[in-house]
């Protein structure tokens, strides 16, 4: 839904993912099979997971002001809590982040 509403945001996400991928390849592309190479691979996995998580959370935070009236009405009707709303919004944005 938000992909069609904010196409520039989608383009920026794709371009930033591409640039980030190039940076990771340049930094971690020549790792060896020794102990330090394995530790570096663990570092790049952590970095990648953290980056994807922050991108999905950031997209939720940017969309929230547009959806605030709907959220306020639904919370007033006690349909769900803010925590549940945020978690489901992040989970629904994860496929876009990958």
Convert the pLDDT of each residue in 65-97 to its tens digit: 777 888 888 888 988 888 888 888 778 776 665
**98 close to 52: Cβ distance less than 8 angstroms:** yes
What integer pLDDT is reported at residue 10 of this predicted model?
Answer: 72
What integer pLDDT is reported at residue 92 of this predicted model?
Answer: 77
Q: Which helix H or strand E contains 47, and what residues bound it? A: helix 35-76
Dihedral sign (CA 17, 20, 26, 30): negative
Q: How many CA atoms lie within 13 A of 49 on its CB side?
A: 6
Stretch 48-60: mean pLDDT, rounded? 77
pLDDT digits 0-9 by tens, 4-44: 666 777 777 788 888 888 988 888 888 778 888 888 888 88
What integer pLDDT is reported at residue 84 of this predicted model?
Answer: 87
Looking at the chain, which runs of residues are DSSP E strands? none
Coil, helix or strand at residue 39: helix
Instruction: Note the pTM of the prediction, 2 decimals.
Output: 0.52
**56 close to 9: Cβ distance less than 8 angstroms:** no
Dihedral sign (CA 41, 51, 92, 88): positive
Stretch 45-54: mean pLDDT, rounded? 83
């Amino acid at each position: 839904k938000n992909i069609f509403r904010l196409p520039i945001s989608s383009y920026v996400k794709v371009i930033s993912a591409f640039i980030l991928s190039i940076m990771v390849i340049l930094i971690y592309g020549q790792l060896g099979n020794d102990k330090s190479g394995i530790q570096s691979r663990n570092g790049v996995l952590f970095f990648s997971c953290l980056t994807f998580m922050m991108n999905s959370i950031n997209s939720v935070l940017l969309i929230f002001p547009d959806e605030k009236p709907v959220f306020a009405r639904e919370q007033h009707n006690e349909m769900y809590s803010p925590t549940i709303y945020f978690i489901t919004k992040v989970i629904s944005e994860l496929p876009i982040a990958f």
